[in-house]
A and B are shown apart, each in its own frame.
Chain A
């Protein structure tokens, strides 16, 4: 197995040149690295907290912002931190807010994966058991000045073999009063609908927070549920009034093929007329939500969000028109804020998508003139001692039968899929009493996830063939300048 040049550069920290890169060798290195960090933390005499980059800036442990001491699931302070533009700070100068992150996985699929299905995968792939470099990321994440902050992530996808701009959100905020009541408002420049959202119900930050890349996934999903991620640029404004009412409006412009090449979203060797959709004009995105701690320690959020887009399917303009896709969604969050050791979170969202397929019907004869797609997801997690976090999710997608539009793996016309995701995450660090290094903040998470399908791409028969076991180890570090 050979690495491409980028992978060699990125992995040079862990692997010596010329070393035979077997899976065992790589795993041994990663295990060793994890143990070294763990021991370094345990043996350190420094009593400060183990903190990643935002945590360094705020002098708070990861557990102050995140359920289970690890992102991205947010507690109230985590939501506030984002709402206030990543600017909250302990007042000290911490230098450039950088962080790095590596995530490696083992995936077992019930169905055998064809050899070479992921030709760029750093560790290769074949059969039922695969190791993957899921993500190697670097962030600029933190305060720029008193009213401006940024979260900019660049990642190397070790399965797709692609270096790319990942989630990005740059904010500028303003505080004031309306009718004598406080508000915080801001503008956001970001690269996907819902990246700017502060709740874990919406697609970008929703559960599962990390999903296996080398596993079968259902063919059909709503536009807002991933298709636009890092494929559009949005400018918007938001306001939270009285800590009750949240409103946001953004306009998104689809990124051109050149732009996608530049940010690494589309491989540069793709043909000019690749298979990626293109978007015409500005796509309006809206978000409304109300939140409140109705009873002490019982937090509720109820909201709606959506987007409308004119789409050239496969960037094909031959029909002279566009498809019109409209997503309308509702979402809800419940959190029991509990005590220092116990925290319960529940999230749910329902997305309804209407597809007016005028252009597709011309380009791909046999496509319906319109389709509908519905996605429902609900999850509940219980975090114990900010360390152990089991989560259970139910998901279901249903929609109009359309043999051409959905292009399912089963060849059936139905986009229907359903199933469960069960996960157990273990985070040993990132808490008030966690040991730390004086020169670097760090944290890690080990998670075991099982995805079970009851229906997959329109069929219940053999749906379980797509079941997946996913073991994932993430390590995040930030320098203390």
Chain B
């Protein structure tokens, strides 16, 4: 009985954590991100929508690790999930001033 409760509790915790993971929208318009800094929870996802008429790029940088999400044509959506806590920077490799500082808790 005790072990059954533990298993249920573990699954519940996982389910709640999963349910709490959120999608956060970020627009690319006017060759700028709509936010310059963000605080997320581990597991949250940034959803980038290119509202410009030119190509963008999304690159997630964490120290020496870089996750290049590739090119993003006008109208396209790119998602980036932040699984681990830490400090990240999201950049567009084409437009060097497009940056977001992301803190994942």
Between B54, B68, B70, B99, the greatest number of chain A beta carbons within 10 A of the residue's beta carbon is seen for B54
* Binding stretch for chain B, among A83-91, A107-115, A116-124, A348-356: A83-91
| Given A90-B71, A91-B70, A91-B71: A80 in contact with B55 (beta carbons within 8 A) | no
* Binding stretch for chain A, among B2-10, B11-19, B88-96: B88-96
| Given A77-B31, A340-B53: A243 in contact with B97 (beta carbons within 8 A) | yes
A71 to chain B, nearest CB (A): 17
Contact in complex: B55, A59 (CB < 8 Å): yes
Contact in complex: B54, A432 (CB < 8 Å): yes
A182 contacts the other chain (Cβ, under 8 Å)? Answer: yes
A60 contacts the other chain (Cβ, under 8 Å)? Answer: yes
Residues of B within 8 A of A340 (CB): 53
Contact in complex: A91, B93 (CB < 8 Å): yes
B65 to chain A, nearest CB (A): 15
| Given A88-B95, A90-B94: A60 in contact with B68 (beta carbons within 8 A) | no
Contact in complex: B55, A60 (CB < 8 Å): yes
Partner of A58, one of B68, B94, B97: B94
Q: Give Cα distance in the complex from A432 to B52, angstroms.
A: 11
Contact in complex: B57, A90 (CB < 8 Å): yes
Residues of A within 8 A of B31 (CB): 64, 76-77
Contact in complex: A60, B54 (CB < 8 Å): yes
Q: Give Cα distance in the complex from A162 to B37, angstroms.
A: 53
Residues of A within 8 A of B68 (CB): 91
Residues of A within 8 A of B97 (CB): 80, 243
Which residues of A from 41 to 85 have beta carbons under 8 Å from B?
Answer: 58-61, 64, 76-77, 80-81, 83-84
| Given A59-B55, A432-B53: A80 in contact with B70 (beta carbons within 8 A) | no
Interface size on A, residues (CB 8 A): 21
Partner of B54, one of A61, A80, A89: A61
Contact in complex: A80, B71 (CB < 8 Å): no
Q: Give Cα distance in the complex from A89 to B71, angstroms.
A: 10
Q: Give Cα distance in the complex from A96 to B54, angstroms.
A: 23
Q: Give Cα distance in the complex from A83 to B97, angstroms.
A: 10
Q: Which residue on chain A has the smallest CB distance to residue B59?
A: A91
Residues of B within 8 A of A165 (CB): none
Residues of A within 8 A of B70 (CB): 91
B100 to chain A, nearest CB (A): 12
Q: Which residue on chain B has the smallest CB distance to residue A182?
A: B99
Interface size on B, residues (CB 8 A): 14
Partner of A88, one of B54, B71, B94, B99: B94
B23 to chain A, nearest CB (A): 25
| Given A340-B53, A432-B53: A89 in contact with B93 (beta carbons within 8 A) | yes
Partner of B57, one of A64, A80, A84, A91: A91
Contact in complex: A59, B71 (CB < 8 Å): yes
A421 contacts the other chain (Cβ, under 8 Å)? Answer: no
Q: Which residue on chain B has the smallest CB distance to residue A59?
A: B55
A184 contacts the other chain (Cβ, under 8 Å)? Answer: yes
Residues of B within 8 A of A84 (CB): 96
Residues of B within 8 A of A64 (CB): 31, 54
Which residues of B from 33 to 84 have beta carbons under 8 Å from A?
Answer: 53-55, 57, 68, 70-71
Q: Give Cα distance in the complex from A77 to B19, angstroms.
A: 40
Residues of B within 8 A of A243 (CB): 97
Residues of A within 8 A of B99 (CB): 182
Residues of B within 8 A of A59 (CB): 55, 71, 94
Q: Give Cα distance in the complex from A81 to B54, angstroms.
A: 15
Q: Which residue on chain A has the smallest CB distance to residue B73?
A: A59
B68 to chain A, nearest CB (A): 6
Contact in complex: A184, B96 (CB < 8 Å): yes
Q: Give Cα distance in the complex from A243 to B36, angstroms.
A: 14
Residues of A within 8 A of B93 (CB): 88-91
B36 to chain A, nearest CB (A): 10
Q: Which residue on chain A has the smallest CB distance to residue B55?
A: A59
Q: Which residue on chain B has the smallest CB distance to residue A75?
A: B31
Q: Give Cα distance in the complex from A91 to B95, angstroms.
A: 12
Residues of A within 8 A of B54 (CB): 60-61, 64, 432
Residues of A within 8 A of B55 (CB): 59-60, 90
Q: Which residue on chain B has the smallest CB distance to residue A60?
A: B54
Q: Give Cα distance in the complex from A89 to B70, angstroms.
A: 11
B46 to chain A, nearest CB (A): 19
Binary contact readout A401-433 vs B (1 if CB under 8 angstroms, 0 otherwise): 000000000000000000000000000000010
Residues of A within 8 A of B94 (CB): 58-60, 88-90
Residues of A within 8 A of B71 (CB): 59, 90-91
Q: Which residue on chain A has the smallest CB distance to residue B30?
A: A337
Q: Give Cα distance in the complex from A459 to B31, angstroms.
A: 50
Q: Give Cα distance in the complex from A84 to B93, angstroms.
A: 11
Q: Give Cα distance in the complex from A83 to B95, angstroms.
A: 11
Q: Give Cα distance in the complex from A182 to B93, angstroms.
A: 16
Q: Give Cα distance in the complex from A60 to B31, angstroms.
A: 12
Contact in complex: A80, B53 (CB < 8 Å): no
9 residue pairs from A and B, CB less than 8 Å apart: A58-B94, A60-B54, A60-B94, A81-B96, A83-B96, A84-B96, A184-B96, A340-B53, A432-B53
In the A-B complex, the 3 residue pairs with the smallest Cβ-Cβ separation, listed nearest first, are A84-B96, A59-B55, A432-B53
Other 10 A-B pairs with CB < 8 A, given A77-B95, A91-B57, A340-B53: A59-B71, A59-B94, A83-B96, A88-B96, A90-B55, A91-B68, A91-B70, A91-B71, A91-B93, A432-B53
